[in-house]
Structure 1
Amino acid sequence: MKKIFALVLILLMGALFLNVFAQDKQPSFSVKTSGKGKQAILFIPGFTCSGDVWNETTTHLGNKYTSHVFTMAGYAGSPAQAAPNLDVWIEDIVAYVRKNKLDHPVIIGHSLGGGLAMALASRYPDLFGKIIVVDALPCLGSLWNPSFKSEAQPDCSAMESQIMPLTDSQLYKMQKRTAVQLCADTLAQKSIVKWGATTDKKTYADTYCQFANMDQRESIGQIKIPALVLLEARFVNFKPAIEDQYKQMKTATLKFADKGLHFIMYDDKEWYLNQIDQFLQ
């Protein structure tokens, strides 16, 4: 009887181990590809967003490029990882580029995706061809707090305690309030709200906390490839501070949108697409 009990215990522990291992091995992202161009472009969406945020952009670019559109794990209803980590996401994107033998792809990232794009280009300066950052800063925290300092291991428990208890209805209402502050296009707001409301709450809390802790003001000095930074219209009011954040990124050209809010691809689409076309050509 003792031997049978011990065997059952071992099997149960093994099943538990496999389950935890399987959760930990959940991929960092899913990817949709389109286009048939020789030049590859990686599209990394912003916080809680689906890769569908790039639909108008990839349609505009058409077959001139091959688009690789990412949706990060846990965002917009996609399967979540047990322990979401931005550094792991960065390394997994690098592994994707190498596995698929992409030759110096362009990176286009919005918001959090822009932060990841800068990290990729600074850590792997020879792997990519160009970078476009859409409304992201090397250190968002320092824009409001000049004495901001990044922590080696940020404590995300406070953020988790705010987000985890929310009901689906409460999360939806929070996203609805936030969307109007980030996007002027009322039709696009509906998609943004849906993506945020269906994002895994632990992923929401942990990745927001990690993103808010990022300080890349010095590390972006390692970026040697051509860089275009497209910023929302309101940021022109903080132009000196923003230029100071980007001063180490010698290859960067900063441009401010004429109108709209954070989702430039919706709010100032014609200007945004024109800037991308000129830069890529």
Structure 2
Amino acid sequence: MKKITLTLILSFFTAIGISCVAQNASPFQVTVTGKGKQAILFIPGYSCSGDVWKETIQQLGPNYTSHVFTFAGFAGITPQANPSLNEWVQAIGHYIQTQKLNKPIVVGHSLGGVAAMWLASEYPDKIGKLIVVDALPCLTAIYNSNFQSQATPDCSAFIQQFEKMDPQTFKTTQYTAMRSMVADTSKLETVVQWSLKSDKATLGKIYCDFSNTDMREKIAAITCPSLILLEASFKAYQDTMNSQYKNLKTARIEYSTKGLHFIMYDDKDWYYNQLRTFLSQGNF
């Protein structure tokens, strides 16, 4: 497949009314592969490269054109001065419009899954199908039942926490975190390296944004067919999962059979079967 890498500098002033905070800073890099009639947008998770979707794209075959995102500041991509999860989502919406994509399928993992839900709720008439891989509308509410999202959270403490880490502490922290998320040891080094190549200020700011995000009410606006793939351990808490997704009326929730957070690596056969079945069903 021919690969075309596009670095997009979006004009927020004229297109969506958001001031671009750093000259020549792009909210993401996109790699477009394939020539299929149906477009699919792949959004990776926190600190990850769009390469996390490489095997998925290969498995889905030639009937799709894949638009694979990597966010600014993640996995070695040039960071923005003041990144914002909200601006990233709006920028993807603008990308769909400027590229004239007709009812694309949107697939997101983890943070990317939250971004995908956000996108589908903001642009319900623009999205054909939604696939969320191990993400919840409000992860923070799982740990804090009284959580309420803040309009303008102070993220300075998160940013400082990352920026003050010496290289060895940062490396140790990332290995520890990823071992709890990736069961496939052959993928561990790859995932860790993406994190180590990420900009620390971006990690702090986007972690803050992510922790402050609550999509539980907003997902009611999503109208497209939606497949929610959750890790095996979540099956023990189905009532909580159903509560998180109760406002997404189009959702079908499925639980993986093994592995951890990176379902596309840890439970491949089940994961690919779920995608193929869902994509072959129904109309857009």
Matched, 1:237 2:236: yes
Matched, 1:259 2:258: yes
Percent sequence identity over aligned pairs: 49
**Does the CA contact (< 8 Å) of 2:21 and 2:81 recur in 1?**
no
Cα deviation for residue 90 of structure 1 reads 0.8
Q: What CA distance in whole angstroms lies between the structure 1 residues aligned with 2:166 and 2:100?
A: 43
Residues 162-201 of structure 1 mapped to structure 2, 5 A cutoff: 162-201=161-200
Q: 2:208 matched to which residue of 1?
A: 209
Q: Which has the larger radius of gyration?
A: 1
Cα deviation for residue 31 of structure 1 reads 0.6
Q: What CA distance in whole angstroms lies between the structure 2 residues aligned with 1:24 and 1:221?
A: 36
- Report runs of 4+ in structure 1 exceeding 6 Å deviation: none
Q: 1:48 matched to which residue of 2?
A: 47
Q: What CA distance in whole angstroms lies between the structure 1 residues aligned with 2:29 and 2:54?
A: 15
Matched, 1:227 2:235: no
Q: List runs of 5+ in structure 1 lacking aligned partners.
A: 1-20
Q: Deviations over 1:78-124 (max 9, x none)?
A: 10000000111011101111111100100000000000000000011
SS at match of 2:73: coil
SS at match of 1:23: coil
**Does the CA contact (< 8 Å) of 1:226 and 1:252 recur in 2?**
yes
> Which of the two has greater helix per residue?
1
Q: 1:111 matched to which residue of 2?
A: 110
* TM-score, scaled to structure 2: 0.90
Cα deviation for residue 239 of structure 1 reads 1.0
Q: 2:85 matched to which residue of 1?
A: 86
Matched, 1:152 2:156: no
Moved more, 60-69 or 222-231: 60-69
**Does the CA contact (< 8 Å) of 2:21 and 2:80 recur in 1?**
no
Q: What CA distance in whole angstroms lies between the structure 1 residues aligned with 2:250 and 2:23?
A: 37
Cα deviation for residue 130 of structure 1 reads 0.4
**Does the CA contact (< 8 Å) of 2:21 and 2:82 recur in 1?**
no
Cα deviation for residue 147 of structure 1 reads 1.0
The aligned length equals 261
Q: What CA distance in whole angstroms lies between the structure 2 residues aligned with 1:24 and 1:83?
A: 11
Moved more, 161-170 or 63-72: 161-170
Q: Deviations over 1:31-73 (max 9, x none)?
A: 1111111000000000000000001001111211111000000
Q: What CA distance in whole angstroms lies between the structure 2 residues aligned with 1:171 and 1:199?
A: 11
Cα deviation for residue 24 of structure 1 reads 4.2
**Does the CA contact (< 8 Å) of 2:33 and 2:67 recur in 1?**
yes
**Does the CA contact (< 8 Å) of 2:79 and 2:202 recur in 1?**
yes
**Does the CA contact (< 8 Å) of 2:39 and 2:104 recur in 1?**
yes
Alignment RMSD = 1.1
Cα deviation for residue 195 of structure 1 reads 0.5
Q: What CA distance in whole angstroms lies between the structure 2 residues aligned with 1:107 and 1:264?
A: 17
Q: What CA distance in whole angstroms lies between the structure 1 residues aligned with 2:33 and 2:67?
A: 7
**Does the CA contact (< 8 Å) of 1:24 and 1:83 recur in 2?**
no
Cα deviation for residue 162 of structure 1 reads 1.2
Matched, 1:61 2:35: no
* TM-score, scaled to structure 1: 0.91
Q: List runs of 5+ in structure 2 lacking aligned partners.
A: 1-19
**Does the CA contact (< 8 Å) of 1:39 and 1:66 recur in 2?**
yes
